[in-house]
A and B are shown apart, each in its own frame.
Chain A
């Protein structure tokens, strides 16, 4: 997936997460996590997001995560939306996302 602009999705409300993705000039995956449950789940969130990026074929990205203790399914939904926005994809191929 090719990121042509910044993508952003989510909110900063409790139990949600705001995710911003942009192309990484260093051609690498960089995850910048800020979470109120960093101590408990920081490592889990990082590896979860990394695996989602791999699944979606994204290899050059800076991901800013402002987490307010979102569940995995929420993180996934926000990340996918942010990436689609960044890639300029407006038609979702839902069947491919499972």
Chain B
């Protein structure tokens, strides 16, 4: 490619004068330049951008090649560079967003399909086959033909969550089935992943038919649902919610025989409400019934993790006691919780 004299450079994605040309280039290709990128590279000929790609954590996205140069291997240049940059940042399991019609380009480069939102977006991963490996591991927890599932962030685990898990446990128990409870494992919430997971484990230990799993990178993660963690994602939020649910319905539910997903009603958060709405639309296509359960109310208010965080933020920790299981309360009173409580007081985050 020496005759074309391409140069590859990293741009300052957070500086508007660097950002704007990339934004314009991508918009000519009907692609958007996402807010959450942490690295962007451009391939230039002279001063003109001819290709670009970005990294958002472990996800390769916003990859585009100018139409005149398609077929000249610039995608390979971009992906190689992003892959090595990710490697130097110790990110070994990669994901990639693309339009469905470009899937073959990336599968030639060693990426394999995780799932797709038909006609809209595909999610691929590398090393290939990691998702299959993860599903095989899950399948070992399968008992019988059917089961019930829950997906929760539990930030932190409250009596509201406990109420929902009990409902699921009883519903499944009547038919001798299991409940597969997935805890969102992306570490972008105020309570760290291992704490959230541990509190769910301890808070449900007495319910014999409840299996607690980590959602890994395949359920509400930076890869399947990047906009879950931001406040007002707009249309991208709808697409990501759909992608996440198509992956759940198409691959995860069949592995465990899940035919019912139970979910708490969402009175407050528009992103979660949108997710629930998409769930009712998409999962039945895969033979998974969706059942929305009204929230547990204590006193006048519905119990929610965000309310618990509000109380902590406003120095009303004592009032949390009646809203959480003993195990969560013990944790909140322990020294281990001090840095988390400090963080909650300082930040106002959605999750």
Contact = CB atoms under 8 A, between A and B. Distances in A.
Interface string B125-156: 01111000000000000000000000000000
A64 B130 CA distance: 12
A55 to B, nearest CB: 24
Given A8-B84, A18-B110, A68 B128 contact: no
Interface in A31-83: 32, 34, 36, 62, 64, 66, 68
Nearest to B75: A12
A66 B106 CA distance: 11
Interface string A17-35: 0101010000000001010
Contact of A12 (B76, B87, B127, B129): B76
B110 A66 contact: yes
Nearest to B80: A11
Contact of A14 (B73, B79, B83, B129): B73
A64 to B, nearest CB: 5
B77 A13 contact: yes
Interface residues of A, number: 18
- Sorting the interface of chain B by its residue count into under 10, 10 to 19, 20 to 34 or 35 or more gives 10 to 19
Given A13-B73, A18-B110, A32 B80 contact: no
The 10 closest A-B pairs by CB, nearest first: A11-B80, A66-B110, A12-B76, A6-B92, A12-B80, A8-B87, A64-B127, A12-B109, A34-B110, A13-B76
Given A22-B92, A36-B108, 11 more contacts: A5-B90, A5-B92, A6-B87, A8-B83, A8-B84, A8-B87, A11-B76, A11-B84, A12-B109, A18-B83, A68-B76
28 contacts: A5-B92, A6-B87, A8-B83, A8-B87, A8-B92, A11-B76, A11-B80, A12-B77, A12-B80, A12-B109, A12-B110, A13-B77, A13-B80, A14-B73, A18-B80, A18-B83, A18-B110, A20-B127, A22-B92, A22-B127, A32-B129, A36-B108, A62-B127, A64-B110, A64-B126, A64-B128, A66-B109, A68-B76
Interface of B: 73, 76-77, 79-81, 83-84, 87, 90, 92, 108-110, 126-129
Interface of A: 5-6, 8, 10-14, 18, 20, 22, 32, 34, 36, 62, 64, 66, 68
